[in-house]
Amino acid sequence: MIDARVVIGELQAMRDEGHLSDALIRRAVRSLHSGDERFDWVGAYLLDVEASELWLHNYVGQRTDHVKIPVGQGVCGTAVAQGANLNVPDVGEFDGYLACSSEVKSELVVLVRAGTDIFGQIDIDSHQPAAFDSQDEVAIQMIADKLAEQIAHERR
């Protein structure tokens, strides 16, 4: 289980050194991937509001075809359309699921947001069925909120 406080401490130290969100997002993805063996693929998507599309920012794991995902499509795009995190215990049961690899069994999407402003999301795939619980979601949300703090600061 990932210790969100450690990752948030790393991210805050980077902010204190003057790093921008681009570096923080990359660090968060790497720390999540290396911090938990259930997290087989970890990536960050950023929302292009005008195009209504998610763009893959960076990832660790198998190559994916889903570099751009329209809002409303797949688990990722549905989370944005609904304005809510999505924990999918069985991706085979999700209508419109966009498969990265046949090994993936479950997926967790946590939004990076400041209030109603959605900046993007952290997307995690696991080869284990029903890999994620509400504690994982809380931990990842804390990390996502730290990223949102920096993104909001840069967009001001």
Residue (of 126, 92, 134) closest to 107 by Cα position: 126
Q: Which amino acid is at 121?
A: Q
Q: Are strands 68-70 and 86-88 parallel, antiparallel or unpaired?
A: unpaired
Find the shortest distance in angstroms from Cβ 17 to ligand SME: 30
Q: How far is CA 100 from the centre of its chain?
A: 15
Query: Which residue number places its CB atom closest to ligand SME?
Result: 74
| Residue whose CB is less far from ligand SME, 94 or 145 | 94
Find the shortest distance in angstroms from Cβ 89 to ligand SME: 14
Find the shortest distance in angstroms from Cβ 129 to ligand SME: 15
| Residue whose CB is less far from ligand SME, 87 or 150 | 87
Q: Which amino acid is at 5?
A: R
| Residue whose CB is less far from ligand SME, 60 or 142 | 60
Find the shortest distance in angstroms from Cβ 140 to ligand SME: 15
Query: Distance (Å, rounded) from C-alpha 19 to C-alpha 15?
Result: 5
What is the end-to-end Cα distance of the chain in Å, rounded?
34
Residues lying near ligand SME in the complex (CB under 6 A) are found at: 41, 43, 64, 66, 69, 74-77, 97-98, 100, 107, 123, 125
